Chain A
């Protein structure tokens, strides 16, 4: 926290500061083991993903295959995980199950015989979520002189059973949105089909169910990390912990927005790891005067403790809450489709989509009438509450 303040403070006195792209010349041969995943008190199967780091200029995961991956607890129960897809190792249905109070560790043996393990870590008592709520905020911004509206989400926890509780919050958002336009008709090799009367033909042509074209639901993880703890608070309750901010610059709030918060109660060590990660990713956007360093994970090479690994095998108990919010009463700044290069109709790019506006029809691109092109699915998720 402190450092960030200092960083911001630096800005204050920067009279003339410039930022220029600088070509990086990397040493890209480093291959470091990365572990993701963990075990929770929810029912399995649990997954552990193993990969190696990548050169910064081609950031894809390189899965680490053919490892022997074992989760064990402190009472002698263990399970060897099965590789279900490259680099992803899973427990079986009905296999090992996380129990609060027990301790768990992960053991990995790589194909070249190297052994890595985490120490035993206790599954902490879970702490409930009291409320997750949003408030309409106007974020100051140079682009929006009157502020960029959006929902700022907050969480209040229930009181923990002990004084020091450490949390990691994982957010998954689901939002309902509409395509930019409603399809009116389809022109297809000289025939015109209307959505009102020719649904069958249209469905036949575009292989879709017309009803679902306009409204979609999209689920995404919020790509940010949120952490907090109660050890320095007078009561073991967190009130108004800020989560993410969802602005009206995208379609996310345009109809209805749902947020699933998973609250992981973790060990202090896990908290410190995730807090460091959070500091590192938020530091990247400021003058980087904090000494950057590699945040070592909890997987250790048994034979060489100087070898660094990344990632954390997280042992956690989970509480969940899902909330829904309708579109805020505020200005929206997301933008719809825009005019593009002229298209040669004579090349018979068929079908052509038509929309009706003010007693006139217009040709539009598929993206404007089919919400699925924006990544959503056409059917309402089971958990969705209107």
Chain B
């Protein structure tokens, strides 16, 4: 830090006893200069600074009665060309040729240097952090110094500064802005062109500019000479968001099913409206055993499993990415949902293929009587749904569309990268139903979703889901039903990147999934039920091409071989009520998985790490040839014993296999994560779950309680080696370690069913631990030690409540608590080429602070008249009511050679949202 110190001379505690107006008079005398100085300094509180040579042999000769000191000095020294000057502290300066300026020259009022600037920012920042590339919140922000004029000429004349206040986004002028200049205590107002004029002495000024609807901003202004100055301002706006609804209803005692929830359309209508769009998936996050890594994660984690172990199907169409905008929204309109089933245990064998959970969503069948429309408008997106009869034979359609218009929000963020980015999403659903006579029903379903993002650094990406299914149900008689479903779905991801010209590229991948399922259901007179079925899946993953983009790119185009597999299964479920109190469910599923050509497969040296150097053989398999086969049996056993009329005990065992994996090296799941099929080098994952639970109802079933405990083991878990890269890697198996996952927990649930007050309260204690160590090949992560999974949150509690004050007015709230997720800390520092590098602790050895959030919402329905054209309702919600800054992640930064930790909070403020929804008809329909 550097200083220009000037003549601010401090004389400690001195009050100068002088003539009025500090005038000093000298009386008649004739003394030497030195003697004169000595006397004067003794007599008065003044001080002389002078040049010895210039004052040599000078005598002070006063011949008049009295003379002003300044006058005397000037007279005495005029001949010698010694210039006399004086400051306000009683210092006199006598130097040859040039006067020493008693006042401070404009030039020395330089703007603070960068270090000082940083300090100023720090003082003004709440978070004591200043790096403008980050998102941050300022209480008051002193912007960078605005410099006017040039500093090579110093004129002590006043300078004319012409200021221009404008919108930082588009450069349009801000008129009638109030400009306050602190140093002059003066206020100016900008004219219609956003301009103001200022005439000041050169120097440093602090300008604070404010105007209604704009963020107040302060500027340091350094004026050297006349000139122009620009003052960018930002529009002030309030960020809004929308919200979710849910509920469920359950025959919790009499079925053998455990770890199951069902949420119906009716319940969706009745239950809390909190955060964003009505979102059944977000509601599922409030159930015990369901976790995420944070607010913006594209996946969720069920009972300690990674997110690629969840099956997400909507009318039999598999969805590979169910998230819009990285997890803030779900890729379908909840208005169009009729029922949502969620299994985290005892997964019925008709599903199969993914280890951890099933989200099975049924889309509404259109109204076959009347045409109806419902629509909703929120701050970031709008949705509409229409339904009605096709012909008058009972056939119907339902169409829903949703689109975002959220870019305006990005413009408000105080970060260039965000501001210059854009993101949008759309989705659509169509469901057609055709009853074909008494016994047949045909259903046709189409699904589409799209996300697009254009990012500041020259990266664009887009991803789509596309799906279709046909279902044919045939009732042979009252006891026997057949269901046949054909479904196809496709997930496509495209990215182009022009960050570095010679590496500019575009790449893509897509997954095509075709599936057929046929089920026969037979109900015996005794109440026993038998279900038989066949299920076949063909999955093809094209890893696309990695292509140079534009002429400047010198990249080699890379082409990756697609891979494909067929898995065929037969399954059977038998339900037997042994006695009135004891029931057993058994399901078996036999699967033959075949990995098919055309494909080049590499063989690796046994007992050595899989790496390119260890490839021993390369085999090309022609089209449709079976490369390898896996035969596995999945099973599901569940039993229930009703101890009393309102107390049941249940136990279950579930064994499953999984043949597709997601490749990702990030903590949270992102849409760019590729998928991979099990192949000769990757063993299918195997998951086992043991569970047991007690269920008790009170108050005639209005209150349900349960305790469930589970223990889960996953073998051949696919973990990615540290620093793994998948985009341009033709041999992903070299970046994979197959490890183990172990998770266990206890879930407590208390549920109050529909009434004035409804909702639930739950608490989960759980643990999820991963080991990625192959002792034979020596491949390992985390030096071979076990580590908590990224989403491991030992304690979690959720409460959701809805209170209906009247038919028209309801109030609801969510309370969410969980232990912070585990993170890896920096634990040491070292240097390479003078760059400071961080060494880390064991993986996930530390934790983020606990997560806690409160949401509330109020819904006001329109009038309840039966005969009316349209019914509207308002919902006002507050997400994160307390504005708690829950940590999403932690970043570590080097501040002056010391590593500091910062927690990043997403949605770390209260977010209000007002939505208006409208539908044709009255409240009920």
A residues lining the B interface (CB < 8 Å)? 1-3, 5-6, 8-28, 30-32, 34, 36, 51, 53-57, 59, 61, 140-146, 170, 180, 185, 187, 190-192, 221, 223-225, 232-235, 237-242, 249-250, 272, 276-277, 279-281, 284-295, 305-306, 308, 310-312, 333-346, 354, 356-365, 367-368, 373
Contacts and interface: CB of A to CB of B under 8 A. Distances in A.
A21 B131 CA distance: 13
Interface in B369-427: 409-410, 413-418, 420-423
Contact of B897 (A9, A14, A59, A276): A59
B110 A338 contact: yes
B908 interface: yes
A50 B151 CA distance: 49
Contacts of A15: 239, 241, 409, 413, 907, 911
Interface string B216-240: 0000000000000010100000010
Contacts of A36: 831-833
Nearest to B728: A232
B132 A2 contact: no
A17 B6 contact: no
Interface residues of B, number: 160
A187 B840 contact: no
Interface in B880-908: 885, 887-894, 897-908
A21 B900 contact: yes
B143 A310 contact: no
B554 A239 contact: yes
Q: Which of A16, A221, A272 has most chain B Cβ within 10 Å?
A: A16
B8 A342 contact: yes
B668 interface: yes
B51 A192 contact: yes
A221 B51 contact: no
B667 A290 contact: yes
A235 B552 CA distance: 12
A295 to B, nearest CB: 7
B113 interface: yes
Contacts of B418: 11-12, 14
A358 to B, nearest CB: 5
A233 B3 contact: no
Nearest to A290: B666
Contacts of A32: 828, 830, 839
Given A305-B778, A338-B4, A16 B906 contact: yes
B670 interface: yes
A34 B830 CA distance: 7
A51 B830 contact: yes
Contacts of A364: 4-6, 108
Contacts of A312: 832
B10 to A, nearest CB: 5
B410 A12 contact: yes
B98 A373 contact: no
A233 B828 contact: no
B78 interface: no
Contacts of B95: 185, 192, 361
A279 B554 CA distance: 22
A54 B897 CA distance: 12
Contacts of B903: 19-20, 22
Contacts of B128: 21
B114 A334 contact: yes
Given A294-B839, A345-B7, A11 B828 contact: no
B807 to A, nearest CB: 34
Interface in B471-499: 495, 497, 499
A25 B410 CA distance: 35
Contacts of B890: 22, 288
The winner among A1, A281, A338 for most chain B CB atoms within 10 A is A338
A11 B421 contact: yes
B127 A2 contact: no
Contacts of B414: 142
B27 interface: no
Contact of B554 (A235, A333, A338, A343): A235
A368 B2 contact: yes
B44 interface: no
A305 B775 CA distance: 12
Interface string B572-614: 0000000000000000000000000000000000000000000
Contacts of B825: 24, 26-27
B838 A223 contact: no
B902 A19 contact: yes
